[in-house]
Every structure is written in structure tokens, then in C-alpha cells.
Amino acid sequence: MNKPRNSLARIFRVPLILLAVSLAGLVTALLVEGHGDVIAALAVAAPVATILFAYFRRRR
Amino acid sequence: MKTATIRGWAFVHKWTSLICTLFLLMLCVTGLPLIFHDEIDGALNKEVWTPANPGGPHLTLDEILAIALARREGDVPIFLSFDIDRPVVNVTSLPSIDAPPSDMLFASFDLTSGDVVPPADVGEGVMEFLLQLHTDMFLGLPGMLFLGFMGLLFVAAIVSGVVLYAPFMTKLDFGEVRREKSARLKWLDYHNLLGVAATGWLLVVGLTGVVNTLEKPIIDAWRYTELADLVSEHQGPPLTKAPASLDAAVARAVEAAPGMELQFVSFPGSPYSTNAHYAVFLHGKTPLTERIITPVLIDAADGSFEGRREMPWYVKALSLSRPLHFGDYGGLFLKILWAALDIFTIIVLGSGVYLWLAKKRVGEKRFLSEAAVPAE
């Protein structure tokens, strides 16, 4: 347990990126139609992909 | 964060979550099939309806209205609405203008033939049940407002959860899960990971859900203030002669609202109109504006234009809260993400209850000292 303490910036770096990306995706999907929808949905998928990645990373 | 601060936020997180968890679980479970409402309807109602004369000329709205009213002698029209992707109009009528809503007669008509379109309602009973449970638990307005309050508690639980994320993560990397140490630590790490990663979606769906529970007061406020203003400016005695052509009235309204599409018509004397006007409601054509409706009043006696009024901001907010809550505005892929995030929410709620029980067993002090690191 002698790991160095994480700073607040470090702790919230990924969560803040996910928050910004998913909110941008949720709003963009409302503003655009067609191909734009897919890109917006990919942004909404970022947290889902992150969670699945974290789950499967150490499973093997 | 000092230990006392952590304990304060933990107190907020514990109680806001505990009170709303059972209801949130119900909302997540009933919400999951509701995301795919259209797809389930489509799968259960395989027979695709086709118009009698595809591409053929349309009957006029006056003709359709006459056919609809002939089905029950003496009925008066209340609403007329237009399907988006097929040549179908829907007519709602009542035996008299002040008859109770339970006497309503609703039917859909083929614009190319005037034939009745059979309702595609296989499985509708189950979906209706789920929807009622999800919106008001069969308790009407009090049920809706109660669920809105649960939604507010849920938002408070999300915010306090994000604050608590910091002291629990001072020694861990993002996404790190301590699988080997104990079931308690493993589920704590999953709870934190899922919760913090999905925060954006959780806040959006939670807050728009709360706005949706205010639908009744919002629509009422609109009807009794802005719409009432528009209507009372023009409110006169009921029509004494036969009303002007519906087609002409609709055409006049479309002219008065360029770039917009028809949504529905409220007839003279009905709840959304005056005694002597057709109220024609139109909506925009872009994804953002297609949920924003604008009423146009047309004098039912002579078909002349009377007035047009934009939606007030609070009704616009409600209109935009619906897609953001339902997830039905970005195709099937977005719906699948909605379902995945819904399932993650169930896991966060379930693990939260588990952690609360585990914490009770080992004692809060030891739980926090093991897992959360205060600042020195």
C-alpha cells in the first residue's frame, strides 16, 4: 500500500472526458440526422465501451 | 477530503440512494422493454398495412371527416391527426362536445380510399401496462410527481456518488478492479467504475425523467395561460352555421406557418381550441424542431387566419426532454446503447444495495477506513 496518492486531476481525468464526450453525443444526435447520428451514437457509446474494456481486460 | 467530509457525503449518498433504489429498479426494469416499444410492436404486428390505392389521389379531409362521423350518428369531431409515414388520418369524436373522454371514438382512415385502417394492437396491453407502471404506477398525477421526486433523489445520489469517487480512488487507477481481495472490494470497484463512467447518461436520463413527470402541470400551465390568451382573444359564441371547409382551414394554416408540417387539428369547442375556431398544430422539420409545435387559429365560420403563437420555453423544455429520456431519436444503435446503460444502472443499483448490507455487517468505520483514503 505504498503507491503514491493520485491527484484529483488524475482521478477525474478519464471520467471528465467520458462525461464531455457522452453529453456531446447525446445532444448532437438531437441536432443531426443520417450519418451524423452514427457518430453521435459512437460518442454515447464511449462509456459503454470503457466499462466493457475494463471488465474484459483482466479477465484473461 | 477530511474523514468528516467523506462521512457527510457518504450519509447523503446512502440515504438518497436507499430511498429511491426500489423505485429506480422498477423504472429500469420496465424501461428496458419500453426502449424497444416500436420494434416490439412491429414484430408482434407482422402484417404490414398498405393503402388501398398506393400513389392514388387522396380524399379530402372533409370527406374523411364525413365518413368518420357517419360511423356513430350525431358525433362531433374533437381531434384529427396525421400519421407521419403513411397516408393515414386519425379522427377522434364524441357524442357531444362536453361528453366524458371515456365516450371517445377513435379510428384511423386510409386517405386513398376512406377505409378504416385496422389497429395494429397485438401486445399493446402488456406495453400499456409497463408504460403506466413506469410513468405513474397507476396512481395518476400523484404517482407521477412521486416518481419525479424519486428522480431528484437519484440525481442527488449520482452527484454525491461522484464526490465520493475521489477518496475511494486515491490509490487506484481508473478502471482498476480489485477482484482477488474480497467480494466487497470487487463490487465497490465495479459500482464506482460503472457509476462514474455512465454519469453523463445517468444525469441526462434522470433529469429529463423528472421533467417528464411534470408533463401535466406544464401542459396545463400552457393551456391556461398562453393558449388561453390566444383563445380568449378570439373566444366568441359557438358556431351557429355549418363550419367552413376543413381542407381550406388546414391549407390556410400551412400557409401561415411556412416550413412546418401538419400534426393535428383541434376542432371548435374541443380542449385545445375555442368555440369558433379550428386550432391547427404544426411542427418543424428538423430533428430539433420536429417536437416543437405551433398552434394556428383559423376562424371556423369563414376559414380566415386569426392568430399564431409559439410554444413557451417550458413546453419546449418538456418537448426536448422526451427524446432525451426515451432514446428514440438516433436510430436502433442509440436504443441498444440505451438498453446497455439501463442494464449498467441496474448493476449500479444492485451493487449499491449489496455494499450497504456489507457495510452494515463490518461497520461503517472499518468499511470507510479500508476503502476510502482521507487527505492528510
The pLDDT score that the predictor gives to residue A59 is 56
User: Do B110 and B146 share a structural domain?
Assistant: no
In a domain, B56, yes or no: no
> In this complex, which of A30, A33, A37 lies closest to B323 when CB atoms are compared?
A30
Distance from CA of A41 to the nearest CA of B (A): 6
Please judge whether B171 and A1 are an interchain contact, meaning their C-beta atoms are less than 8 angstroms apart. yes
Structural domain boundaries enclosing B245? 226-311
A47 contacts B340 by C-beta, under 8 angstroms: no
| pLDDT, tens digit (0-9, with 9 covering 90-100), for B107-142 | 999 999 999 998 878 888 899 999 999 999 999 999
pLDDT at B214 over 80: yes
pLDDT at B95 over 80: yes
Average pLDDT on B268-272 reads: 82
Q: Which residues neighbour A60 within 8 Å (Cβ) at sequence distance 6 or greater? A: none
> In this complex, which of B162, B198, B334 lies closest to A29 when CB atoms are compared?
B334
In a domain, B305, yes or no: yes
The pLDDT score that the predictor gives to residue B30 is 97
The pLDDT score that the predictor gives to residue B310 is 82
The pLDDT score that the predictor gives to residue A2 is 59
Say whether residue A49 is in contact with chain B using an 8 A CB cutoff. no
The pLDDT score that the predictor gives to residue A58 is 66
In a domain, B54, yes or no: no
Say whether residue B172 is in contact with chain A using an 8 A CB cutoff. yes
Please judge whether B165 and A11 are an interchain contact, meaning their C-beta atoms are less than 8 angstroms apart. yes
User: Do B135 and B21 share a structural domain?
Assistant: yes
- Pick the residue from chain B with its C-alpha nearest to A7: B170
In a domain, B346, yes or no: yes
Give the count of domains, chain B.
Answer: 3
Find how far residue B154's CA is from the centre of its chain. Answer: 18
In a domain, B142, yes or no: yes
**Cell numbers given for B30:** 420496465
Please judge whether B333 and A38 are an interchain contact, meaning their C-beta atoms are less than 8 angstroms apart. yes
User: Do B285 and B230 share a structural domain?
Assistant: yes
User: Do B75 and B210 share a structural domain?
Assistant: no
Q: Which residues neighbour B329 within 8 Å (Cβ) at sequence distance 6 or greater? A: A29, A30, B287, B323
User: Do B141 and B102 share a structural domain?
Assistant: no
* ipTM of the complex, rounded to two decimals: 0.93
Per DSSP, the three-state class of B40 is helix
Q: Which residues neighbour B75 within 8 Å (Cβ) at sequence distance 6 or greater? A: B68, B69, B93, B94, B95, B105
User: Do B111 and B70 share a structural domain?
Assistant: yes
- Which of B98, B119, B140 corresponds to the end of one domain? B119
The pLDDT score that the predictor gives to residue B161 is 97
Say whether residue A53 is in contact with chain B using an 8 A CB cutoff. yes
Strands B76-82 and B88-94: antiparallel
In a domain, B285, yes or no: yes
User: Do B278 and B299 share a structural domain?
Assistant: yes
In a domain, B318, yes or no: no
The pLDDT score that the predictor gives to residue A50 is 96
Q: What band does B362 get if pLDDT is binned at 50, 70 and 90? A: confident
The pLDDT score that the predictor gives to residue B375 is 62
Say whether residue A14 is in contact with chain B using an 8 A CB cutoff. yes
In a domain, B353, yes or no: yes
Distance from CA of B364 to the nearest CA of A (A): 21
Say whether residue A11 is in contact with chain B using an 8 A CB cutoff. yes
Q: What band does B308 get if pLDDT is binned at 50, 70 and 90? A: confident
| pLDDT, tens digit (0-9, with 9 covering 90-100), for B286-303 | 777 888 888 898 988 888
> In this complex, which of B162, B288, B337 lies closest to A44 when CB atoms are compared?
B337
The residue of A6, A26, A33, A58 whose CB has the most chain B CBs within 10 angstroms, and thus the best one to mutate to test that interface, is A26
Beta bridge partners of B107: B91
Chain B residues with CB under 8 Å of A20 CB are 200
The pLDDT score that the predictor gives to residue B70 is 92
| pLDDT, tens digit (0-9, with 9 covering 90-100), for A10-53 | 999 999 999 999 999 999 988 887 777 889 999 999 999 999 99
Say whether residue A16 is in contact with chain B using an 8 A CB cutoff. no
pLDDT at A1 over 60: no
Say whether residue B199 is in contact with chain A using an 8 A CB cutoff. yes
pLDDT at B285 over 90: no
The pLDDT score that the predictor gives to residue B54 is 87
> In this complex, which of A31, A40, A44 lies closest to B288 when CB atoms are compared?
A31
Average pLDDT, chain B: 90
Q: Which of B151-165, B196-210, B361-375 has the lowest mean pLDDT?
A: B361-375
Average pLDDT on B355-368 reads: 83
- Pick the residue from chain A with its C-alpha nearest to B343: A48
Q: Which of A41-55, B169-183, B344-358 has the lowest mean pLDDT?
A: B169-183
- Pick the residue from chain A with its C-alpha nearest to B178: A58
User: Do B184 and B135 share a structural domain?
Assistant: yes
User: Do B169 and B102 share a structural domain?
Assistant: no
Chain B residues with CB under 8 Å of A31 CB are 286-288
Average pLDDT on B96-100 reads: 86
The CATH number of the domain holding residue B261 is 3.10.450
User: Do B230 and B209 share a structural domain?
Assistant: no
User: Do B169 and B297 share a structural domain?
Assistant: no
- In angstroms, rounded to a whole number, what is the distance separating the alpha carbons of residues B323 and B338? 12
User: Do B139 and B36 share a structural domain?
Assistant: yes
- Pick the residue from chain B with its C-alpha nearest to A29: B330
Burial A14-33 (b: 16+ CB within 10 A, else e): ebeebbebbbebbbbbbebe
Restricting to B residues 325-344, those with a Cβ less than 8 Å away from any Cβ of A are 329-331, 333-334, 337, 340-341, 344
